[in-house]
Amino acid sequence: TEIDWKAYMQEVEGFANGTLDYTQLKGDTGPLVYPAGFVYIFLGLYYATGRGADIRLAQYLFAGLYLLNLLLVFRIYCRTNKVPPYVFFFMCCASYRIHSIFVLRLFNDPVAMAILFLAINLFLEERWSWGCLLFSLAVSVKMNILLFAPGLLFLLLQRFGLLGCIPKLCICALLQVILGLPFLLVNPVGYLTRSFDLGRQFQFKWTVNWRFLPEEVFQNRAFHAALLLTHLAGLGLFALHRWHRSKESILALLKDPAERKHPSPPLTIVFVLFSSNFLGVCCSRSLHYQFYVWYFHTLPYLLWCTPTAKLAHMPKVLLLGVIELCWNTYPSTVCSSLSLHICHGLVLLQLWYGTAPPPAPHTPPPSRRPAAISKKAQ
């Protein structure tokens, strides 16, 4: 349980000793591959835990982070009022893997997700500038938060139009520059290639979702390109047919909201962000065990955000259980990885068909005998 924590501490120790060349920050598991926000946050943990030696204290701190994360998630769910209360029991008590990721393994993924959920709470309060600031901070801890970015961009365009969303995007970009500035001044290419390496290869032995493939296919660049195209296609379809509800073309999002002919109906912020992230998870090149936290707390909403008959609750609970079982199978197997994809596919089908726009109301043809109708009405 100490491998990743020790590697994190070794990576930030170099920065504590004055190393600003990002390519020289390394640990036992390899070079540092996270943006600068990770360095600052875990540097604080480095000093708080006696240079990383007091692992028990680190676990207490992460236990507090776990409770804070639950509080932020519950607040989001209370605002949406979609999920039955009993489901929260499964979220709190029924996931050994999530407890391990937070309190035993001390990964940086929970830190990034907790900041992300804080940002979503701010979006729900219509504090978009502060929300964008926190969103960018979450990205600076781990790049998986970028899976929410397409949904956030759509929301900003829908809420502010093209010109109005530019200041919000500048907030996101400016924070990245400020956090990375000490490293950018010394070795900008080294910082950008290490912290935002989108082409990094994953090891086949750790994959949870693609175990049923031959390793040569898993490592093939054509397979990666196909996943990327599938991801982009999924985002495009959801943006056009599930997120965009106005009668105007989606290009109307580029206009100022006051100039649009048909104002968009109220949009569910949580649905757009959670479905954007889920599409990215489904098309990921590889999911490692700590990546479960990327979407675990969003699954109840994704399953219950559509109208549900009373008898349909049990299949959804069963789906949560099978997904949990897949993530607790170590090492992953052909059966567990296939089962995970089937479950993801079922969730996607429900999101697609369960959130379809209602059919246009049928307008009856005008009566040919208005006088007779009028007479009866009298």
Residues 10, 103: Cα–Cα separation, whole Å: 20
User: 361: phi > 0 → left, psi -120 to 50 → alpha, else beta; which?
Assistant: beta
Q: How many CB atoms lie within 10 A of CB 330?
A: 10
pLDDT tens string 133-161: 999 999 999 999 999 999 999 999 999 99
Quick one: pLDDT at residue 371? 47
Q: Would you state the structure tokens that stand for residue 276, as one six-digit string?
A: 């954007």
Quick one: pLDDT at residue 254? 85
Please report how many Cα atoms fall inside a 13 Å half-sphere around the Cα of residue 351, on the Cβ side: 29
User: 187: phi > 0 → left, psi -120 to 50 → alpha, else beta; which?
Assistant: beta
- Hunting for tokens 């940002």 — which residue is that? 119
Residues 181, 20: Cα–Cα separation, whole Å: 10
Query: Is 292:336 a contact under the CB 8 Å cutoff?
Result: no
Quick one: pLDDT at residue 374? 42
Q: How many CB atoms lie within 10 A of CB 46?
A: 22
Quick one: pLDDT at residue 251? 86
- Hunting for tokens 């649905």 — which residue is that? 271
Query: Is 65:110 a contact under the CB 8 Å cutoff?
Result: yes
Residues 167, 266: Cα–Cα separation, whole Å: 22
Residue type, 37: G
Quick one: pLDDT at residue 125? 94
Give me the phi and psi of 30, to 5 degrees please: 125, -170
Quick one: pLDDT at residue 30? 86
Residues 17, 10: Cα–Cα separation, whole Å: 11
> Alpha carbon of 361 to those of 164, 264, 357, 365: distances in Å?
34, 18, 12, 13
H helices within the chain, ranges in order?
3-16, 36-48, 55-80, 87-93, 96-99, 109-124, 128-139, 149-186, 188-195, 215-218, 221-238, 269-282, 299-304, 313-327, 334-354, 370-377
Query: Is 301:316 a contact under the CB 8 Å cutoff?
Result: no
Quick one: pLDDT at residue 309? 72
* Largest Cα–Cα separation, the chain: 93
Query: Is 244:250 a contact under the CB 8 Å cutoff?
Result: yes
Quick one: pLDDT at residue 189? 94
Query: Which residues of the chain carry a pLDDT beneath 70?
Result: 1-2, 262-267, 310-311, 358-378
